[in-house]
Amino acid sequence: MTNSVAPLQTPAPLVITLGNLKGGVGKTTSSFFLASYFASVHELRVLVIDADPLSQTGYSWYRRLTKGDIEVPFHLIAFPSRHVDDCITDNAAEYDVIIVDAGGESAEIFKAAIPESHELILLTSVSPSEVKRVPSTFKAAEEAAAGRDREIRVRVLMTKVPVTMKKGVNISTEYRTQRKYLEDAGYDVFESYLSSWKWYREAADGEVGDGAENPIEDLAEYRQVGDELVSPYRLAVEVPA
């Protein structure tokens, strides 16, 4: 039997890139929540690299939290450069998990992070125009990973998902249609997803005390996403006969 605190066997460090060559898909929000997940659930040393040359949402969010006397269980540095691979290797000894927020639009930085990553999470909302950008991001990742000896696992995570529950199943047509499209195209899509919630929408922009500390206080659906993310790294635990 396994549970969320079962020991993990991860590379040292486990490098996760969150990307999509399209802005506004939830990369920064997901970086913060997943960083908190690794720090609080697995008690690991976590670094977020904000490698987004345009937005820097992550950096200002982090600053607001720390200035607001919130104890943030991970570190963040802004490094929006195509040398982000050096930033990863230079910090490798200090952290168990490094999460790279590879920003929208900058293929160069995104591609520099890929050869150092074990996991690539391609984020997309259910918007058909965003879903259609998944293949080009995937292709860019493939090009960047070409010739590298170790494998990178690529999974798609759906964000801002509309929810219409019926008998415990989300029957939202938009959600079901886009998930089917991605699965039929051969992508490995996370079973769990992030609902379109006001709470997430306000997380990055709010003032401290007004929701901005959400990822530190409550992991919400990201706990499930995190558990699914680490499932390949769980140590096999013997079940007593």
* DSSP-assigned states of every residue in 161-214: B---EETTEE--HHHHHHHHHHHHTT--B-SS--B--HHHHHHTTSPTTTTTTH
Estimate to the nearest angstrom the gap between the alpha carbon of 201 and the chain centroid.
Answer: 16
Cβ-in-10-Å burial (0-12, 13-18, 19+) of 141 comes to buried
Q: Pick the binder of Mg ion from 10, 30, 57, 124 (CB under 5 A).
A: 57
179 touches, from ligand ATP, Mg ion, none (C-beta below 5 to 8 Å by class): none
Distance, CA of 181 to CA of 223 (rounded, Å): 26
Q: Are strands 165-166 and 169-170 parallel, antiparallel or unpaired?
A: antiparallel
Q: Pick the binder of ligand ATP from 10, 17, 55, 172 (CB under 6 A).
A: 55
Q: Pick the binder of Mg ion from 17, 20, 36, 55 (CB under 5 A).
A: 55
Q: Nearer to ligand ATP by C-beta: 60 or 91? A: 60
- Of residues 70-109, those binding ligand ATP (CB under 6 A): 103-104
- In the complex, least distance from residue 87 CB atom to Mg ion, rounded to whole angstroms: 17
Q: Nearer to ligand ATP by C-beta: 160 or 179? A: 160
Q: 145-168 burial, b for 16+ CB within 10 Å, e for fewer?
A: beeeeeebebebbbbbbeeeeeee
Q: Pick the binder of ligand ATP from 159, 172, 178, 214 (CB under 6 A).
A: 159
Q: Binding mask 15-54 vs ligand ATP (x if CB under 6 A, - otherwise)? A: --------xxxxxxx----------------------x--
Tokens standing for 225? 């996403």
| Binding stretches for Mg ion (CB under 5 A) | 27-28, 52, 55, 57
| Binding stretches for ligand ATP (CB under 6 A) | 23-29, 52, 55, 57, 103-104, 159-160, 194, 196-197, 200-201, 203-204
